[in-house]
A and B are shown apart, each in its own frame.
Chain A
Amino acid sequence: MARLLFKGARVVDPSQGIDEKLDVLVEGERILKLEENISSTEAEQVIDVSGLILTPGFIDLHCHLRDPGQEWKEDIESGSNAAVAGGFTSVCCMANTDPVNDNPTVTKYIIEKAEKVGLCDVFPIGAITKGLKGEELAEIGLMVKAGIVAISDDGETPKDSKVLRNAMDYARSLGIPIFTHSEDKTLSAGGHMNEGPLSSLLGIPGMPPEAEDIGTMRDILIAKLTGAHIHVCHVSSKGALQIIESAKREGVKVTCEITPHHFTLTEEAVKEFNTNAKMCPPLRTKDHVEACRVALKTGIADAIATDHAPHTEDEKLVEFCQAPFGIIGFQTALPLSLNLVREGYLTLSQMVEKLSTNPAKIIGKSSIGTLKPGARANITIFDPEEEFILTKDLIKSKSYNTPFLNKKLKGRVKFTVYNGRIVYKTV
């Protein structure tokens, strides 16, 4: 089998407590060994990666690939390209496609198409309820057989608590987590941005952080009732983080993720009615942003996930209140996460934990998120110092909806390796 040697990088792999200069030898699709000074003669191909950082491939717990049904925004191929350009070798895609991924046929379609594209793992997340309607349970068991890694009605967690309870009971028995978009939608109804000082100034109806807090509390209480593993998506409020913290202390099986935009930007980004700063949950005020950063530092937040949500320029070039929620995120996740390292919130090792080690654990995949010998050779190699301007030319997604468009970012993926193959490199 072909051997590929990466020489001279600083290897950061929290799964083994490694943070040192090591060479990494890949054989076929697997990691063969990590050692100091592996001889070049041991490999057919040697790549000098000195000065760079080498980590297990990033795993995104939350993205929207829009395939099937909304391929004008994104499809599995363009989404995979964008993912690997951002250093992600596995991505979990939400079920709100058209048709909805609420049955094994759609699940299989996604997996098969992703395998054909062959750039990264695409792990489908199945719907909780048929058509995301919050009423009848979807064929969760059959979807698990077909390959889903979790269930979620992202954006529309069932309002009916009994339905949610049934779903959690069911998920527990199948051994998969339930991902919740936790929000009391009756309280945030009609809102287009955070309810904060800026919404008072602009007159745009707000979505109070309390709507998220209430949703989080209810969803966690039902998880506690059922013993299911709840993973709270894109947490953005201080209150929700406090609720998660105390639930964790009580022993509830809860994990959560925070998006790079929620730990980076405040509601001020909306000021000029920038629809590329419109997402749900919305960007909030400084105290919430700070709480998100601290939660990542203390471990209350387990993962960094992108909530990559492509919408075309045409769809976003409308009045603020008519624009859809969501921004793309694969190619901005690393530089924004590195900002937290530079600002002292995270060590590099903690950052990798949030982007790879912990996500693998949350979806129960032991062969990824690690560089242990025998693990799949999914590797991300990046230069933390390289600056670049995120132009449309660099964006691999079909959509450009990001507030970081044409902004300077620091920290760039140089190589992405998937199953031992270099699937992306920066030219």
Chain B
Amino acid sequence: MEHLLSAEDISVETFNEIYETAQKVKRALREGRKKFSVLRGKCVVNLFFEPSTRTRSSFEKAGKFLSADVINISTSTSSVKKGESLIDTLKNLDMMHPDVIVLRHPCEGAPYTAKPFVRAAIVNAGDGRHQHPTQALLDAATLKEHFGTLEGKRITIVGDIANSRVARSDAILLRKLGAEVFAYGPSTMMPRYPTAMGIKVLTNFEEVIEVSDAVILLRIQLERQNAKKTFPSVREYSELFGLNRKRLNQLKPGTVILHPGPFNRGVELTNDVVVSERTLIFNQVETGLAVRMVVLSLMCRRLEKLKEEVQ
């Protein structure tokens, strides 16, 4: 794999290899081994055109644990509008010999626009509403760790599906791994062509309860709700589409809950859900770090070295 731009780029074999290695990485981390020399002499640039805490710090730690030099550049698109184009920013960065550029950008397809102009490997850390492939990797890895397999599992994503890069990435990878993917939320937040995304839209919470082996809750992006709101109020959203204690108890035994974070307590989910044994939300964070360590190694063609070191 030269770049990681979309969940489409991840084959089942690649996923399995990433998964197996990430499990070993996690074991090492839990043993307190946090410094590896895998990426010594390598340089990772985190180029974020959108605010992010979780993903950026996850990539940063992943790089640092592997002894790469990590540079964080946060900027807003407004500064780009002032002058330098995305391509020029990347070309300039590329001349500083990074090995990996981790790119987050508010426009769909930005890493595809950038790709022909850089020598470094690009890891898409989220492009608008399009893709966020490492999120798909960590969600799939979290679920595989829990269930042992994704074959035949039914997974429902709840929330603003139409505007979610997480939903788009998860749907692709989870289906590749044999799961069925469903979606639920206000119909204003469903894509017009769900089958193109590989999902089936459910029409009420009872169906979600009935079918789901896992529920992935998406964050309601309150900051993106402008005058043309896609739902009338937070109160109404949480009442109709939020996961609370009552609904949690109705879920099939064994159904687990995921959330890419950061979550809005009292909106998508209540504290009962956060503290429930069914939640894998915090496993996701740990798995995310491990997966990103593997991805960075893979991009630098040092996967074998990583495997050796985490033994």
Contact = CB atoms under 8 A, between A and B. Distances in A.
A115 to B, nearest CB: 38
B85 A320 contact: no
B87 A202 contact: no
A197 B195 contact: yes
Interface string A185-210: 00000000001111111111110100
Given A196-B193, A317-B85, A201 B168 contact: yes
B196 A198 contact: yes
B192 interface: yes
A272 interface: yes
A302 to B, nearest CB: 31
A203 B128 CA distance: 8
Contact of B109 (A195, A196, A317, A319): A319
Given A195-B192, A201-B196, A320 B113 contact: yes
A322 B196 contact: no
B118 interface: no
A422 interface: no
B85 A202 contact: no
A198 B196 CA distance: 7
Contacts of A319: 86, 105, 107, 109-110, 113
A320 B192 contact: no
B109 A204 contact: yes
Contacts of A318: 85-87, 113
B108 interface: yes
A214 interface: no
Contact of A197 (B110, B162, B163, B193): B193
A17 to B, nearest CB: 47
A200 B130 contact: no
B112 A200 contact: no
Contact of A200 (B85, B86, B87, B196): B196
Contacts of B128: 203-204, 321
B197 A200 contact: yes
Interface in B181-207: 191-197
Contacts of A388: none
A203 B87 CA distance: 22
Contacts of B196: 197-198, 200-201
Contacts, number: 70
A202 B109 CA distance: 8
Interface in A199-243: 199-206, 208
A273 interface: yes
Contacts of A203: 108, 128-131, 162-165, 168
Contacts of A208: 192
Contacts of A273: 108-109, 112-113
Contacts of A201: 168, 193, 196-197
B287 to A, nearest CB: 24
Interface residues of B, number: 26
Interface in A311-349: 314, 317-322
Contacts of A314: 85
A198 B109 CA distance: 13
Contact of B107 (A200, A317, A320): A320
A200 B193 contact: yes
Interface string B118-138: 000000000011110000000
A34 to B, nearest CB: 52
A28 to B, nearest CB: 52
Interface in B73-107: 85-87, 105, 107
Nearest to A204: B108
Contacts of B113: 273, 275, 317-320
Nearest to A198: B196
A118 B256 CA distance: 74
Given A317-B85, A318-B85, A319-B86, A200 B192 contact: yes
A89 B162 CA distance: 47
Contacts of A198: 196
A322 B163 CA distance: 18
A199 B130 CA distance: 9
Contacts of B110: 319
A352 B108 CA distance: 41
Nearest to A193: B108
Q: Which has the most chain B C-beta neighbours within 10 Å: A196, A275, A318? A: A318
Contacts of A320: 107-109, 113
A321 B105 CA distance: 11
Q: Which has the most chain B C-beta neighbours within 10 Å: A202, A205, A319, A322? A: A319
Contacts of B195: 197
Nearest to A270: B109
A278 B197 CA distance: 21
B135 to A, nearest CB: 14
Contacts of A204: 108-109, 128-130
Contacts of B130: 202-204
A319 B103 CA distance: 13
B76 to A, nearest CB: 14
A43 B208 CA distance: 84
Contacts of B192: 195-196, 199-200, 206, 208
A96 to B, nearest CB: 22
A321 B108 contact: yes
Nearest to A273: B109
Contacts of B165: 203
B219 to A, nearest CB: 16
Contacts of A275: 113
Given A317-B85, A320-B113, 20 more contacts: A197-B196, A199-B193, A200-B193, A200-B194, A200-B196, A201-B168, A201-B193, A202-B108, A202-B130, A203-B162, A203-B168, A204-B108, A205-B129, A272-B112, A318-B87, A319-B86, A319-B105, A320-B109, A321-B108, A322-B107
8 contacts: A200-B191, A203-B163, A205-B129, A317-B85, A318-B85, A318-B86, A319-B105, A319-B107
Interface of B: 85-87, 105, 107-110, 112-113, 128-131, 162-165, 168, 191-197
Shortest beta-carbon contacts, A-B, top 3 = A203-B129, A273-B109, A197-B196
